[in-house]
Amino acid sequence: MSDAAPTLNPPRFGSGQAVKRLEDDALLQGQGRYTDDLGQPGDGWLVFVRSPYAHAAIQGVDAEAARVMPGVRAILTGADLAAMPPLPTGAGFKRADGSDCATPVRRALAHEAVRYVGEAVAAVVADTLQQARDAAEAVMVDYEERPVVATLAAALAGGAAVVDSAPDNIACEARHGDAAAAQAAFARAAHVVKLDITHQRLAALTLEPRAIRASWDGVRLDVHASSQMPTAVRGAIATALALKSEDVRVRVGDVGGGFGMKTGSYPEDVVVAWAARATGQPVRWTGERSEEFTSTTHGRDVQAHVELALDTNGKILALRVQSHANVGAYALGTGVAIQLLIGPWVQTSVYHVPVIDFHFRAVLTNQAPTGAYRGAGRPEAIFNMERVMDEAARQTGTDRIELRRRNFIRPDQMPYKNPMGQTYDVGRFEHVMDQALPLADWAGFDARAAKSRARGLWRGLGIATFLEWTGGNVFEERVTIDVKADGIIEVYSAVNQMGQGIATTLAQLVVDAFGVPISQVRVVLGDTDRGNGFGSAGSRSLFTGGSAMRSGADKTLDEAKQLAAQALEAAPEDIRYEAARFFVAGTDHAVGLFELAGKQAGGHIFVDHTHTVSGPTWPNGCHISEVELDPQTGAIAIVAYASVNDVGRVVNPMIVRGQLDGGAVQGIGQALTEQIVYDDSGQLLTGSLMDYAAPRAFDMQAMFKTEMDESTPCTNNPLGVKGVGELGTIGATPSIVNAVADALARNGRADLAPRLQMPLSPGRMWALLHASV
């Protein structure tokens, strides 16, 4: 390729520009490469035998009839894998008596007992998918039913049956703050506001289910997986199969959504890898929708009691929160940490709260385990805070905007350490709210409410002002940059694409650094042979991976400058760089970047670079929604939604808006429609899309007004960016529920506002409106 000046103007494709996503052409043309697309003739198809019981002893597994069925290659049971190390549980948390987190031992295939409906007991590998299904039905498992702890309430009831390991079903707990100081603050408070809040259980509901394909060549395992964190999958498989990490290669292609559910590894990953090595042939598994509902990790599922103490001027004196989190049958590290530590980090949010008293418990039940789901603990914490702030305004007769102003952390308090010891580097929370109010036409609401009332509808206005923490507290990321003689700059990162457009954003940063057209940039992601890192979770991809990409590009240019100085026989300080060419200042002596690469050993310039940012980011926002409630039917319609979001520097505004609006839709789904429900025997009642009410396009008829405020860049990374992937989810849910509470209060039913519990479905709202007080 020639080093002539490019025909495209690189700045058009650099940071700050709404560059069309590089990923989209292939996806829109049906050329995406998902894990299920990668199968080859001769692959074995794996089907799991799953428990129909929520709690039972396994007396025996009879697979003899299945073994002789046509096409069957192998059948694995829990007994066959009993020597495998247990899968990780717990998270270093303790019980009240100081003992370790109590949780059952988790196996790749259940051995001796099953503890939730859908837990895998056996696996069948056959020549075809139908043969594997037929043989799976022929596997006979002898179960002896045990008492079931089907719900959080049942687990905490006196005399409750025990899931396993914990005599009181409390796996572990955590306390934060100063209980005595909080009690003193509450004793002198002029106002005390209390709320009981239910954060219902949710399904992540990705378009692409979990999928994995593994092959064994006698030395190494080659694994393709639909995952946000390929390095974690590699580690889990290597540990389970007693292999060295370098003997497992994990690759990730296109991923049809993750939402936190595809972080880490699952038992199915280990079983597929084991089966591939055992049979010596490639083995593939793709989950069906029913399997995804029963056996992937769920999100949320917390019962919280919140108390807020205020003085006569409405200033917050103290906050008390007690919660019980249903972590399911196994206390997974993520499920526990999210509720006992990560959510609490942001519980006080954008407000100055002098004293806290937090007590959080993780509780075992005979349900599927919980784990990361978009927001991961922060939505629960922010919902608690925003609901109690609005209720405090109602009960004290204070304007809710004024109440927030009185309690916001001020810019001159930055950096600010909150009561959980987390330091916010920057933030102008009142400034963000002041932009959102006119965007939503807050002042004109009364006129709109009057028009709704004329149609028999109750209109409500809701607000949420909040922040979140991003980064997973893993601040290091590795990239490689390869400048090739053919005119391509190939970059690799361990962060992962899953529909969020990260490949495009990273490419824009390369354009910034090298000044080349984006068509000359090739981004490669998801291959543990190319590089390893934490992956994409906790809204960290850009501020860690992007920062590493930019600093790695700068390092590459520095090294190339030295090479150019040698080639041009000039001092390095005299070398200038612009648009893929190095030249000697004040002369016409020059060499092209790609020509220079061709002169090097191997015909390229290659840099392997690791970068560490100095801390998390604290994106924040103000989300305002308007709803209309039909008191005759309980139906709620969203009629307007506006938000201003401080996400620091914006690399691609189109992608950021997509993340914010998509996240808001998921938050709206929690507020209005979504809920995982088990019956008293532990059977899942919402095991399909016929039963689980995901938000639909019809529910989103309101136009989103979404703006970004770039005036307060993050100081913890060189790009100044802040995480964005979960912000919309966190802000939408309390904004919507506060709007419904406002509609009730404006129409003489303020008594019902504290009793609102999600999802605010028409049936639930109608029952609330017509219940006797």
Shared domain check, 343 and 270: no
pLDDT at 13 over 90: no
* Lowest-confidence segment of 173-177, 510-514, 769-773 by average pLDDT: 769-773
Shared domain check, 596 and 478: yes
* Sign, CA torsion 367/368/374/376: positive
Residue 698: the pLDDT is 82
φ, ψ for residue 414, nearest 5 deg: -85, 145
pLDDT at 723 over 50: yes
Of 152, 203, 262, whose CA–CA distance to 674 is shortest? 203
Residue 2: the pLDDT is 39
Of 32, 33, 539, whose CA–CA distance to 263 is shortest? 539
pLDDT band at 10 (very low <50, low <70, confident <90, very high): low
Average pLDDT in the 401-426 region? Answer: 98
d(CA 488, CA 603): 12
Give the DSSP H/E element, type plus range, for residue 595: helix 593-598
Shared domain check, 489 and 341: no
Q: pLDDT averaged over the chain?
A: 95
pLDDT at 5 over 50: no
Shared domain check, 661 and 546: no
Among the candidates 295, 315, 337, a domain finishes at 295
575-578: strand order across its sheet? 575-578, 581-584, 590-592
154 domain residue, yes or no: no
Among the candidates 273, 295, 317, a domain finishes at 295
Shared domain check, 113 and 235: yes
Shared domain check, 389 and 360: yes
Q: Note the pLDDT tens digit of each residue in 530-560.
A: 988 888 887 888 888 889 999 999 999 999 9
pLDDT band at 1 (very low <50, low <70, confident <90, very high): very low
Average pLDDT in the 186-195 region? Answer: 98
Shared domain check, 625 and 736: yes
φ, ψ for residue 68, nearest 5 deg: -95, 5
Residue 474: the pLDDT is 83
Please count the structural domains in the chain.
4
Contact present, 759 and 503 (Cβ < 8 Å) = no
Torsion angle, alpha carbons of 685, 690, 695, 701, to 10: -150
d(CA 503, CA 566): 34
* Sign, CA torsion 504/509/512/513: negative
53 domain residue, yes or no: yes
Give the rounded percent of residues in the chain with a pLDDT score beyond 90: 89
Average pLDDT in the 613-636 region? Answer: 97
Shared domain check, 479 and 599: yes
Q: Note the pLDDT tens digit of each residue in 508-535.
A: 999 999 999 999 999 999 999 998 888 8
Q: Note the pLDDT tens digit of each residue in 473-484.
A: 888 989 999 999
Residue 181: the pLDDT is 98
Residue 536: the pLDDT is 83
Give the rounded percent of residues in the chain with a pLDDT score beyond 70: 98
Residue 3: the pLDDT is 44
Shared domain check, 17 and 48: no
Average pLDDT in the 556-570 region? Answer: 95
Q: Note the pLDDT tens digit of each residue in 345-378.
A: 999 999 999 999 999 999 999 999 999 999 999 9
Q: Note the pLDDT tens digit of each residue in 431-450.
A: 999 999 999 999 999 999 99
* CATH number (domain holding residue 739): 3.30.365.10
User: What residues make up the domain containing 693?
Assistant: 408-415+425-469+617-773
420 domain residue, yes or no: no
d(CA 357, CA 632): 42
Q: Note the pLDDT tens digit of each residue in 655-705.
A: 999 999 999 999 999 999 999 999 999 999 999 999 999 998 887 877 899
Residue 6: the pLDDT is 40
Among the candidates 612, 631, 665, a domain finishes at 612
Shared domain check, 540 and 495: yes
Q: Note the pLDDT tens digit of each residue in 206-231.
A: 999 999 999 999 999 999 999 999 99
Residue 596: the pLDDT is 97
